[in-house]
Amino acid sequence: MKPTETKSWQKLIDHQRVIARTSLRELFDANPNRAEEFSLEFDDILFDFSKNLIIEQTIRLLTDLATEQKLPEKIEAMFNGEKINFTEKRAALHIALRNLEDRPIKVDGWDVVPKVNAVLLKMRNFTEMIHSGFWRGYRGERITDIVHIGIGGSDLGPRLVCDALKEYRKPNINVHFVSNVDGLDIAQTLNQVVPSRTLFIIASKSFTTQETLLNATTAREWFLKNTNGNEKEIAKHFIAISTNEEACKAFGIPPENMFHFWNWVGGRFSLWSAIGLVIALYLGYENFLKLLEGAHQIDKNFRTEPFEKNIPVLMGLLCIWYTNFWKYNTYGIIPYDLRLKLLPDYLQQLIMESNGKRIASDGSEIDYPTSPIVWGRIGTDSQHSFFQLLHQGTHIVPIDFLACVEPEHPFTNHHDVLIANLIAQSEALTKGKTRQEVALELENSNLDPLEKTELLPHKVFPGNRPSTTILLRKLTPKTLGSLLACYEHKVFVEGVILDINSFDQWGVELGKQLAKSILKEIEAGKTSNALNSSTNKLLEYYLKHRKRYYE
């Protein structure tokens, strides 16, 4: 059912009008317990959602909406392996990848858990072989560099985790990520590694992705050119992670060098699968398991906690509240921690590829907004670029601020400054600065009266701009696992309420198809005129100047 057909929808529309008449300032002044009432702690995570435009009734109405949209039943369906990815007729079982208690989970009547455990064992053994030096390159040298080749979900999650948790890295192993088909990406990486000590991981769920296959082919050619050219040595330097065994074989990867996962793992939900092998190699298998454990804790919590105490559910509900009832159409992710600098990139795919949809479960077009546009950048840098708009612009952007209480470095004075800035920004967005406050400030300045009057409106901050703050006591594999699982489930909650399929991504297909046919024209060196005049002009311009460039 479309959410707009529920009883709660109209009630929320009315309720929004009531809340719009008050302000966050007033809400905080009226209730000294607000922060207590609107924050939750889970293990080492504090989730403070008190700076949102909500009262208790808002949460009640939003949870009613979730219930009307059958969220409890849908959560059970996901955990029980039902084919909730209805356009692809697949389960969405990333939770099975971190089901550390071995609860049986069946797909088509078969328990998937033994398969998951078998791959985990293979990952553990492989990781040990690399770390112990048992697995060596073709000249008998230890592997020192891992080049992970993948894109989208086969890149962003592992890249984020490896970058964020560098502190935990194993000695003498470097990782490099290559995703872009821009040849500079692979060229720069190959310049940094030595073939005899490098392991290439080709990570692709489908093993048909143009960018990944081209990068993998280039890496393979480079390897052969820079070694003895013996194809047999490939087995010591290339492994593949995929659901597509045949395509891996066709690429020349021997079966023992393949790590499997399954079509019930969505690409953007796959870092917990063998796609995360690079994480185990870089940080150690034990830390990969801790990452899974953190996610598993959240899975259990998500499945059992009442909605009003359930962090991922509340995250999803807040997003629906702003996108659908306040019509705020973007959503900012601002981590105040350099280690989380890739979080906005990762969440862009997770959220927008999942919920950037316009067709409901019954196939009809929908007439309400779905995913907000997700963007963001680390603080404090972002304060000096786009925060002007956040504070005084005409768009209102709900923000997730994130930070860690314990820094990784010894400069605790820096950390105090960083955290002071984070807290100040959320306070400033909430509170703003009124005309009276500005007038008072100006009164004490040396400006002449005319200047004071002219300047006054420019210095007013409307405030009342919502944000959520997530504080991790420490960034560890476990807390990061929990954090990422919260965002995964948040996305699912929104998808259920919006009555869309969060697990497919048909919208990426058209561009891929066209790129193939346009490439044919480029390779043939002439346009077919089958495309529109703009596209043809671009192609002609490219072909004309490309020739001149290469000649």
List the catalytic residues: 353, 384, 512
Of 508, 514, 519, 522, the residue at the interface with ligand F6P (CB under 6 A) is 508
Of 346, 484, 490, 493, which is closest to residue 45 (Cα–Cα)? 484
Q: How far is CA 423 from CA 400, 460, 483, in A?
A: 12, 20, 20
Residue range at the interface with ligand F6P (CB under 6 A); choices 51-59, 146-154, 369-377, 537-545: 146-154
Asked if residue 378 lies in contact with residue 341, where contact means CB atoms within 8 angstroms, the answer is yes
8 binds ligand F6P (CB under 6 A): no
Smallest distance from ligand F6P to CB 411, Å: 37
Q: Which of 6, 179, 212, 501 binds ligand F6P (CB under 6 A)?
A: 212
Under the binding rule (CB under 6 A), the answer on residue 153 touching ligand F6P is: yes
Neighbouring C-beta atoms of residue 197, cutoff 10 Å: 18
In the complex, least distance from residue 248 CB atom to ligand F6P, rounded to whole angstroms: 12
CB nearer to ligand F6P: give 52 or 154.
154
CB of 178 to ligand F6P, least distance (A): 13
How close are the terminal C-alpha atoms of the chain, in Å? Answer: 61
Structure tokens at 29: 């002044």
The verdict on 205 binding ligand F6P (CB under 6 A) reads yes
Are 373 and 440 in contact by the 8 Å Cβ rule? The answer is no
Stretch that binds ligand F6P, among 38-46, 72-80, 124-132, 202-210 (CB under 6 A): 202-210
> Among 197, 268, 431, 489, which residue interacts with ligand F6P (rule: CB under 6 A)?
268
DSSP string, 255-318: GGGEEE--TTS-GGG-TTSGGGHHHHHHH-HHHHHHHHHHHHHHHHHHHHS-GGG-HHHHHHHH
Enter the DSSP assignment of 511: H
Interaction of residue 290 with ligand F6P, rule CB under 6 A: no
Binding segment for ligand F6P (CB under 6 A), chosen from 180-188, 206-214, 384-392, 490-498, is 206-214
Number of H helices, E strands in the chain: 23, 13
Q: How many C-alpha atoms does 382 have within 13 Å on its Cβ side?
A: 24
The site for ligand F6P, by CB under 6 A, has a size of 14
Binding of residue 15 to ligand F6P (CB under 6 A): no
Site string for ligand F6P, 226-265 (x = CB under 6 A): ----------------------------------------
> Residue 151 interacts with ligand F6P (CB under 6 A)?
yes
The contact mask relative to ligand F6P for 350-389 (x = CB under 6 A, - = no) is ---x------------------------------------
R_g (Cα) of the chain, nearest Å: 26
Nearest to 115 by CA among 296, 263, 287: 263
Distance CA 235, CA 232 (A): 6
Choose between 353 and 494: whose C-beta lies nearer to ligand F6P: 353
Where on the chain is the footprint of ligand F6P (CB under 6 A)?
Answer: 151-154, 204-206, 209, 212, 267-268, 353, 505, 508
